[in-house]
Amino acid sequence: MEYRVIKENDLFLLTDTKGNIPEDHPYGLGLYTKDTRFLSRLDLRINGQEPVLLSSDAAENYMATILLTNVQTEIDGKLELWRESVEVERTRFIYDDVLYERIKLTNYYPKQITFKLSVHMDADFADMFVVRGFQSGELGKRTGTKAANQSLIFSYQGADQVCRATAVTWDRPEQAADENGDVFFQITLDHGASEVITFTVQPQIGEAVVAEPMKPEDALKQLKQVYEVWDQQTAKVQTDHDLLQRLVDRGLKDLKVLLTDLGYGAFPVAGLPWFGVPFGRDSLIASLQMLPFNAQVAKGTIRTMAAQQGESVDPWRDEQPGKIMHEIRYGELANTNQIPFTPYYGTIDATPLFLMLIAEYARWTGDLEFVRELEPNIIGALEWIDRYGDRDDDLFVEYHQESSKGIANQGWKDSGDSIVHRSGEYAKTPIALSEVQGYVFQAKMGIADLYEALGRNEESAKLRDEARRLKNKFDEAFWMEEHQYYAIALDENKHQVGTITSNPGHLLLSGMLDDSRADAVADMLVSRKMFSGFGIRTMGEGEAGYNPMSYHDGSIWPHDNSMIILGLSKTGRQQQANQVIKGLIDSAGHFEYERLPELFCGYDSSSGKAVPYPVACSPQAWAAGTPLIFIQSLLGLFPDGIKKQIHLSPVLLDGMNELTVSNIAIGSGVLSIRVERSSERDISWSVLENTTGYKVIAD
């Protein structure tokens, strides 16, 4: 990972490994909030020279520590500063929408030294879509830079008539500061002495009065308390499988840093650096993954999505009534309607996933009052599926891009080349995706269960009938007898898109497949064609569109695998589930911080190395949530809040001797479980605590 990123709530900082923001860096480094870059240059130098990197660590997510030292400098052949005389320790964190950076300078030269520390800053206020090179358009302009005593303020007037500013302060008198964004400090240090300078950077949007930043020590204390509360509210995992333990711990840390609250409760944004915004599909799936660990995140996600549910027919935004959004943006281009992301609704799967998450949340919590609160949103989503999702009344939900600046392929594989026939021809829309039909089936069956629990038997029966009719027609239309597998999609002419892909693997979770066809799907997914040894590929090796280096046509996506793993476990195919879990765990050792990235290349594990995808987001919410699915799968844990039951069928991975999961919030209490290996073949388990009010059933 050639960058360092920290985030808290809606503000994140993306720098190079030295902690700087070079001009025109290809990764678009900077300080961002509301899809606007509020710091586009950050350059620290000693005697005009860039320091040398010693170490760079952002393992804590909310805090980064970077260690540097000086290069040797001379003037007219005379020594000015001996190399490696100064240790520069940069520590930064974000709290309450303020970036804090503490620069500690320590003299390791045997005598007193004097040197000049300079920090150059700038703010271009660029829209995220401009930074990424996706869009251009009418933009605002810089309105000046004000240098005052121990502060700099960069200002901008947007084309959306919103004033934006970046206020920078520091706590030590400088030698000079100017409107070019340069700040100079003359530093004199005795041998062994240190000096600390603390900067704060605070974005400002509009005319609202911005509070003074807190003292750094107070801000850091409160930030740590936030993480302590998160830790207390989240289920705990202890295992002797060291890499699995680190993966779970890393996943929970990453998910915490990706949480944002827009007023409806905390929910996970999609990922950093490019998708730190509400994202229908990603946020919903990540919340589904988190249910065993912190179900309240699902509640915040559901409320956030419900607040932005479609209300009208708007082709510019691919919006229809009842539809759940794809993505919302807040920058200048969105505010001036130059892009349709306000929000944009071009996703075919977010609406059934929204209903699925509601049903699963109720299974974990038994919270039927929340279901009653959501009744208008549930009705709207169901009506969207039947009226707008199913464009031609054939029972299948299809997508077709309406917006001129929207997305062509609107499933989770949304790149332009992802839906391809075995001939190599790209499928044309409207397109009905296989996994989306499974989501619709699962959504309708799940909501039917909730309606039955609420005494609405007629509506429940209607949904079950619709789901069963969908299942029967799906099997007729999507099953490929010659391949013993399902097509990824139907194209505009209702012809099968027959390429072998991972998409039908999601059907295992839906409950839509008969046993014989579920067996066939599971067998294909763990075959050499699909399983690389590190994970299940998005497309089978040897297919016309297969490319192990591609984004969606042969790469490996951890979240895609997690949906399949959960389905394998739910249908009792734990051996195959464990095979995939082991592959992904093995792959993690090849990535920085042993963190599963958004995706990686689909090369076979016989190469001995998992090959990174060059621009994968990291951390990414649904990749961070994948190790949590490993734990749910190993426990075989599937609660039913309607019947007040908890289904368990624990297993362990080979070489794993113990697994304890405590503080799992279910119903009105918590569940704690311990699984142990008593011999090579024998595994025993026990319930350490059960205050849920649910009955535990061993499957």
DSSP conformation class of 477? H
Average pLDDT over residues 42-49: 97
What is the pTM for the complete model shown?
0.95
What percent of the chain lies above the pLDDT cut of 70?
A: 100
> Rounded to an integer, what distance in angstroms lies between the CA atom of residue 206 and that of residue 369?
38
Instruction: Identify the pLDDT of residue 208.
Output: 72
Average pLDDT over residues 84-109: 97
User: Angle CA(609)–CA(611)–CA(613) in degrees, nearest 5?
Assistant: 165
DSSP conformation class of 325? P
**Is the bond preceding residue 216 a cis peptide, omega within 30 degrees?**
no
- Average pLDDT for the chain: 95
Least confident span in 1-5, 153-157, 267-271, 333-337: 1-5
CA 323 vs. chain centroid, Å, equals 22
Average pLDDT over residues 211-226: 93
Average pLDDT over residues 612-627: 92
Which of helix, strand or coil describes residue 156? strand
DSSP letter string over 572-588?
T-HHHHHHHHHHHHHHH
**Is the Cβ–Cβ distance between 486 and 478 less than 8 Å?**
yes
Q: For residue range 171-213, what is the model confidence (pLDDT) as tens digits? A: 999 999 999 999 999 999 999 999 999 999 999 999 877 778 9
User: Angle CA(62)–CA(66)–CA(69) in degrees, nearest 5?
Assistant: 165
Give 53's strand partners: 68
Instruction: Identify the pLDDT of residue 25.
Output: 83
| Distance in Å from the first CA to the final CA of the chain | 42
Using the predicted structure, report yes or no on whether residue 3 has a pLDDT greater than 90: no
Instruction: Identify the pLDDT of residue 453.
Output: 96
Instruction: Identify the pLDDT of residue 392.
Output: 95
Average pLDDT over residues 576-583: 98
User: Angle CA(621)–CA(276)–CA(415) in degrees, nearest 5?
Assistant: 75
Instruction: Identify the pLDDT of residue 362.
Output: 97
Domains and CATH numbers, the chain: 4-224 (2.70.98.40), 234-648 (1.50.10.10)
Model confidence band, residue 594 (pLDDT cutoffs 50, 70, 90): confident
Average pLDDT over residues 568-573: 97
Model confidence band, residue 58 (pLDDT cutoffs 50, 70, 90): confident
DSSP conformation class of 339? S
**Is the Cβ–Cβ distance between 417 and 553 less than 8 Å?**
yes
Instruction: Identify the pLDDT of residue 227.
Output: 92
**Amino acid, res. 545:** G
Give 181's strand partners: none
Instruction: Tell which residue, 221, 257, 217, has the closest CA to residue 58.
Output: 257
Average pLDDT over residues 241-258: 95
Model confidence band, residue 465 (pLDDT cutoffs 50, 70, 90): very high
- Count H helices and E strands in the chain, helices first: 17, 32
> Rounded to an integer, what distance in angstroms lies between the CA atom of residue 492 and that of residue 503?
19
Using the predicted structure, report yes or no on whether residue 337 has a pLDDT greater than 70: yes
Q: For residue range 263-282, what is the model confidence (pLDDT) as tens digits? A: 999 999 999 888 889 999 99
**Is the Cβ–Cβ distance between 399 and 384 less than 8 Å?**
no
Using the predicted structure, report yes or no on whether residue 67 has a pLDDT greater than 70: yes
Instruction: Identify the pLDDT of residue 61.
Output: 75
Model confidence band, residue 1 (pLDDT cutoffs 50, 70, 90): low
Average pLDDT over residues 605-630: 93
Instruction: Identify the pLDDT of residue 26.
Output: 79
62 vs 530, more confident: 530
Looking only at the bridges linking them, the beta strands covering 98-107 and 194-205 are antiparallel
Q: For residue range 680-691, what is the model confidence (pLDDT) as tens digits? A: 788 999 999 999
Average pLDDT over residues 290-318: 97
> Rounded to an integer, what distance in angstroms lies between the CA atom of residue 216 and that of residue 352?
44
Average pLDDT over residues 332-349: 95
